[in-house]
Amino acid sequence: MTVRVVLVDDQPLVRTGLRVLVADSPDLEIVGEAGTGEEAVRLCGEVRPDVVVMDIRMPGMDGIEATRLITTGTGSTGTGSTGTTRVLVLTTFDDDDYVYGALRAGASGFLVKDMALDDILAAIRVVGAGDALIAPGVTRRLIEEFAARPDPGHTRGATTTRPLTGVTGREQEVLTLVGRGMSNTEIAAHLSISIATVKAHVARLFTKLDARDRVHLVILAYETGLVTPPR
């Protein structure tokens, strides 16, 4: 299955480099490019890609607002919704505040501009397959900080937790371990159950918690108090 990709960056040289990189991968296809958030939203409404590699800092509409419109489908101007498109944010280590906003906007993962080329390709494939990229040392730190901050749209403080409803005890255990960054294989070993059973629990958590992907489950694990940020 070919993953259809849109590249969004206001620097043509960055887009060119990514285009050349992706061109050598038969399972990835560039179906469009955009230099602004507005262009990205319009383009995604037209071509409905699987993955958008999204820069954050751009003139006009930034990558956070574009991510929100693309992942919810509310900015689509073409036929069909862009809500099935996943966004992979292009960021740097000092862009934390922007990344928190991108998480809340629905981003499924993160890339760092100086990552190894193979890692960038792998990240696109992971997100295109419907999973989320949780990079050790980058995403986990961001999510921990994100979860400790109050949602700007709510009045609750950072220590307030949201309740879990309709989730079994074993599903809470699985959610806790997902929140700690464990893979399905690690969770299976920790709980002495099969990987297939872990996958079934994760799938039910997606449905019960209306979670987009694994990154969203990690966020929910923090927000519900199952996992707490380090002090």
φ/ψ (deg, to 5) at 97: -60, -40
Record the pTM.
0.69
In this predicted model, which residue has the larger pLDDT, 162 or 160?
A: 162
pLDDT over 90, % of the chain:
40
Q: For the chain, give every domain's residue range.
A: 3-146, 169-223
Cα 223 to chain centroid distance, Å, stands at 17
pLDDT tens digits for 205-220?
989 998 877 777 887 8
201 band by pLDDT with thresholds 50, 70 and 90: very high
Instruction: Report the pLDDT value the prediction gives residue 80, as an integer from 0 to 100.
Output: 40
- Judge whether 178 and 217 are in contact, CB under 8 Å: yes
Considering the chain, what is the average pLDDT of its residues? 80
CATH number of the 169-223 domain: 1.10.10.10
pLDDT tens digits for 23-37?
889 999 999 999 999
Q: Which residues contact 10 (CB under 8 A, 6 or more apart)?
A: 35, 36, 55, 57, 58, 59
Find tokens 């490019």 and name the residue.
33
- Indicate the DSSP class of residue 27: T
Instruction: Report the pLDDT value the prediction gives residue 29, as an integer from 0 to 100.
Output: 95
Distance CA 61, CA 155 (A): 26
Homologous superfamily of 3-146: Response regulator (3.40.50.2300)
pLDDT tens digits for 77-115?
443 444 589 999 887 755 666 767 777 788 888 777 777
Distance CA 71, CA 87 (A): 7
Averaged pLDDT for residues 185-204: 92
- Judge whether 41 and 47 are in contact, CB under 8 Å: no
pLDDT tens digits for 40-91?
999 999 999 999 999 988 989 999 999 999 998 876 544 344 458 999 988 7
Instruction: Report the pLDDT value the prediction gives residue 204, as an integer from 0 to 100.
Output: 94
Instruction: Report the pLDDT value the prediction gives residue 155, as an integer from 0 to 100.
Output: 34
CB atoms within 10 A of CB 177: 22
Distance CA 3, CA 30 (A): 9
Instruction: Report the pLDDT value the prediction gives residue 188, as an integer from 0 to 100.
Output: 93
Distance CA 52, CA 36 (A): 13
159 band by pLDDT with thresholds 50, 70 and 90: very low
Q: Which residues contact 189 (CB under 8 A, 6 or more apart)?
A: none
How far CA 88 is from CA of 113, 123, 208, in Å, comes to 12, 8, 24
